[in-house]
Amino acid sequence: MATEFDADVIVIGSGAIGSNAAHLLAQRGKSVIILETGEWIPRWKIVENFRSSPRKNNLNDPYPTFPWAMSSFDPDYIENTGNFHYVPYQLLLVGGTTWHWAAATWRFLPNDMKMKSLYGVSNDWPMEYSDLEPWYDLAEYNLGVAGSDTDDQSGHAGAAHPPRSKPYPVTAEGETYYFQRLKDRIGKEGYNFIHEPNGRTNKPYDGRPACSGNNNCMPVCPIGAMYSGDVHARHAQNAGAKIITDATAYNLEKGEGGKIVAVHYRSSKGADVRLTAKAFIVAANGIETPKLLLFSDVANSNDLVGRHLMDHSGISLIFTADEPLWPGRGQVQQGAIFKWRDGDWRGQHSAIKHAPHNNVPNRDVAEMLIKQGVVGPELDEQIRHLSARWVVIESMFETLPRATNRVTLSTTKKDALGIPTLSFNYDLDGDEYVEKARDLCMDDYGNFVRAMGGKVINDKTGWQNHAHVMGTVMMGDDAKTSVTNHEGRTWDHDNLFLATTGLLPSSSVLNPTLAGIALGLRTADIIAKEV
């Protein structure tokens, strides 16, 4: 029986993952509709929104929040019931949250994908590294990732690792003087400085200019050197995909045989539309994806949707070195410092990724000095003196999937479209796996400060989150313990796929977006062969 569909595939979410998947499908000749809650906002406008913001420490501030598309920073949107106040900074506009990231684009190591069998904790991924490798290639090519082809990213100063079939599409950018000095002095203490592969091209790539150190990756790259999802939203559109903005999906309609037959969306202008497709991809980030599934009551026969929420919790260190290093020249992040990256001890405590931050430090420095009552010529002198020596190290730990750390629907609040808002339960205190790593991290901090002849400004930041949302719709090879199989295909509905970092069954210490894009491309490829 011939059925007419509105599209071959409907993708919910126009962020980096959804847009890359949609683009692949459109290139293969499939008709694609992308539904996006937010709007197209041109880059210049976001730059203006940022420059005129009185709260530069607020990464969501340049992006509008609407009663029907609430920013996670809207206090009415997320309630937290756990002992960690978790507020991820997701964005709702065409291109998604990668409008403000630092474009860290790592590949998970083969060992990262085998946490259970190797170390007895967390989960194994339902695939081999070699299954995902060609999709990492494509994702890196799509984004124009700059990386080192010689680094051992497992931090053991060995041969290049993980294995690659192709070199990075862009060679690594030049090392900042700041990074060179840190590497020189701290490296001697037994720490491995690794280049962080990043989506900030340093040569013109795919119509984007080369990064020249505007030092503002978060919250917006003013020139588009840094990759953001709108690049592939536009590519997808040019390849024939249709993007509908102001379209908040709220229901996935089930039909015969467990198939999803339609998606319903609402707009802020009161429209309520039903669209049909042969296959559906929910690529609405790790928070909104489980929200849609929960509200539609799909893919959740095992009550796992929204559970196992993992972020990269961490702490950071600020100190001043005894020599001028001049952070603020070049990109905001450049590399990682590995000592605890991979080893048997991962059965007892988390791995640690330290990342030196290269932001222009004047605001933090001046705020501190003014609070101390420093004024006049001394204020100007101290701003210069301290800014030149300011070192910020941000550290991330691996968190383990716990069923009680979860995303659920609020039972008390709804947004302007009548869709429930969110409730998180995220417990971190008392988590030994992470707390043991934190103690080791503090030792590392002591070593860093000593190596740099430094003076601590702040080493008691308390837990910080990094908006790396993982685990909420975990993939696996057993329908009883996961939400999707290795294809991103939900166990319950064979034409419903998920493409989000929420799929990741273990978190490691790496920014997960590239893995999310690789998985999404792989899923799109599978769908392209079926519809």
Partner 1 sequence: MRKTVFVFSALAFSTVAASSVLAQDAATSALIERGRSVAIASDCMACHRTPEGEGKPFAGGYTISSPLGPIVALNITPSKEFGIGNWSEAQFEAAMRDGVAPRGHLYPAMPYTAYRAMSDDDLHALFVYLQKDVKPVDEAPKAQTNLPFPFNIRLSMAGWNLFFNRATPFDNALAAPAGTERGKYLVDGPAHCGACHTPRNTLMAEDASQYLGGGDLGGWHAPNITSDPVSGIGGWSDAELVTYLKNGNAVGKSQAAGPMAEAVEHSFRHMPDDDLQAIANYLKTVPAIRSEAQTAPAYEHSKAKPAGIGTLDYGIDRSAAAMVNGTSVNGEELYVSACATCHQLNGAGTQDQFYPSLTSNRATGGMTPNNLVMAVVEGVHRKTNDFTVQMPAFKDELSNAQIAAVSNYVLQRFGNASLSVSEADVVELKNGGEVPLLVKATPWLMLGGAIFAALVLVLAAIFFWRRGKRNTLQHA
Partner 2 sequence: MTENLDRKGLISRRRLIGLSVGGVLVASLGCLPTLAVAQEAMDQAGFQALSQRLTGRTVLDKVISDRAFAALTAEDAGFPAAAVRLTAALDQAGLVDMREFKQFAAANPELAPTAMKIISAWYLGYTGTPEGEANHDDARFVAFAGALMYEPTKDVTIVPTYARGHTNYWVDPPATLATD
**Among all residues, which ones are annotated catalytic?**
468
Residue 4, C-beta contacts closer than 8 angstroms, at least 6 positions apart: 276
Under the criterion CB under 8 A, does residue 440 sit at the interface with partner 2? no
Identified binder of partner 1 from the candidate list 23, 66, 241, 484, rule CB under 8 A: 66
Residue 329, C-beta contacts closer than 8 angstroms, at least 6 positions apart: 176, 177, 178, 213, 215, 358
Identified binder of partner 2 from the candidate list 106, 326, 340, 445, rule CB under 8 A: 326
Which one, 206 or 427, has the nearer CB to partner 1? Answer: 206
Q: How far is CA 194 from the centre of its chain?
A: 20
CA gap 133, 137 in Å, rounded? 6
Which one, 381 or 443, has the nearer CB to partner 2? Answer: 381
Under the criterion CB under 8 A, does residue 274 sit at the interface with partner 1? no
SS3 (DSSP) at 96: helix
Identified binder of partner 2 from the candidate list 25, 91, 226, 360, rule CB under 8 A: 360
CA 334, 340, 343, 346 torsion-angle sign: negative
Identified binder of partner 1 from the candidate list 209, 255, 347, 453, rule CB under 8 A: 209
Contact region for partner 1 (CB under 8 A) — 24-32, 38-46, 107-115, 310-318? 38-46
Under the criterion CB under 8 A, does residue 212 sit at the interface with partner 1? yes
**Residue 366 binding target from partner 2, partner 1, none, CB below 5 to 8 Å by type:** partner 2
- Beta carbon of residue 67, minimum distance to partner 2 (angstroms, whole number): 13
Phi, psi dihedrals of residue 463, rounded to the nearest 5°: -65, 135
Identified binder of partner 1 from the candidate list 29, 51, 76, 404, rule CB under 8 A: 51
- Beta carbon of residue 108, minimum distance to partner 2 (angstroms, whole number): 28
CA gap 210, 212 in Å, rounded? 6
Under the criterion CB under 8 A, does residue 377 sit at the interface with partner 1? no
CA gap 407, 303 in Å, rounded? 12
Do 335 and 354 meet the contact criterion of CB atoms below 8 Å apart?
Answer: no
Phi, psi dihedrals of residue 272, rounded to the nearest 5°: -140, 110
Which one, 187 or 213, has the nearer CB to partner 2? Answer: 213
Under the criterion CB under 8 A, does residue 210 sit at the interface with partner 2? yes
Pair of tokens at residue 347: 């059965």
CA gap 291, 282 in Å, rounded? 11
CB crowding 404-437: b at 16 or more within 10 Å, else e: ebbbbbbeeeebebebbbbbbbbebeebebbeeb
Which one, 212 or 404, has the nearer CB to partner 1? Answer: 212
**Residue 330 binding target from partner 2, partner 1, none, CB below 5 to 8 Å by type:** partner 2
Do 130 and 108 meet the contact criterion of CB atoms below 8 Å apart?
Answer: no
Under the criterion CB under 8 A, does residue 518 sit at the interface with partner 2? no
DSSP 402-426: -TTSEEEEEEEEE-TTS-EEEEEE-
Identified binder of partner 1 from the candidate list 207, 270, 430, 462, rule CB under 8 A: 207
Under the criterion CB under 8 A, does residue 202 sit at the interface with partner 2? yes
Under the criterion CB under 8 A, does residue 276 sit at the interface with partner 2? no
Backbone φ/ψ region at 246: left (φ over 0), alpha (ψ -120 to 50), beta: left
Identified binder of partner 1 from the candidate list 29, 158, 174, 204, rule CB under 8 A: 204
CA gap 151, 198 in Å, rounded? 14
Identified binder of partner 2 from the candidate list 87, 260, 281, 528, rule CB under 8 A: 87
Contact region for partner 2 (CB under 8 A) — 98-106, 162-170, 171-179, 474-482? 171-179
Query: For partner 2, what does the binding mask look like between residues 102 and 131, x meaning CB under 8 A?
Result: ------------------------------
- Beta carbon of residue 366, minimum distance to partner 2 (angstroms, whole number): 4
Which one, 167 or 446, has the nearer CB to partner 1? Answer: 167
**Residue 359 binding target from partner 2, partner 1, none, CB below 5 to 8 Å by type:** partner 2
**Residue 171 binding target from partner 2, partner 1, none, CB below 5 to 8 Å by type:** none
**Residue 360 binding target from partner 2, partner 1, none, CB below 5 to 8 Å by type:** partner 2
Output helix, strand, coil percentages for the chain, rounded to the nearest 5: 30, 20, 50
Burial, 136: exposed, middle or buried (Cβ in 10 Å; 0-12, 13-18, 19+)?
Answer: buried
Residues 13-52 that bind partner 2 (CB under 8 A): 47, 50-52
Under the criterion CB under 8 A, does residue 60 sit at the interface with partner 2? yes
Q: How far is CA 478 from the centre of its chain?
A: 26
**Residue 49 binding target from partner 1, partner 2, none, CB below 5 to 8 Å by type:** partner 1
Tokens 């103690």 — which residue?
439
Identified binder of partner 1 from the candidate list 1, 3, 42, 57, rule CB under 8 A: 42
Under the criterion CB under 8 A, does residue 41 sit at the interface with partner 1? yes
Which of 333, 374, 372 is closest to 354 using CA atoms? Answer: 333
The type of residue at 310 is M
Instruction: Could you list the beta-strand ranges (E) of 52-143.
Output: 78-80
Do 241 and 32 meet the contact criterion of CB atoms below 8 Å apart?
Answer: yes
The type of residue at 232 is H
Which one, 78 or 393, has the nearer CB to partner 2? Answer: 78
Under the criterion CB under 8 A, does residue 43 sit at the interface with partner 1? yes
**Residue 44 binding target from partner 1, partner 2, none, CB below 5 to 8 Å by type:** partner 1
Pair of tokens at residue 282: 């929910």
Phi, psi dihedrals of residue 484, rounded to the nearest 5°: -130, 165
Strands 192-195 and 335-338, bridge-based pairing: antiparallel
SS3 (DSSP) at 390: strand
Using CB under 8 A as the criterion, which residues of the chain lie in contact with partner 2 when the complex forms? 47, 50-58, 60-61, 65, 71, 73-75, 87, 89, 173-177, 180, 202-203, 210-216, 220, 222-223, 324, 326-330, 359-360, 362-363, 365-367, 370, 373, 375-381, 383-385, 387-388
Using CB under 8 A as the criterion, which residues of the chain lie in contact with partner 1 when the complex forms? 39-45, 47-49, 51-54, 62-66, 93, 203-204, 207-210, 212, 214, 222-224, 234
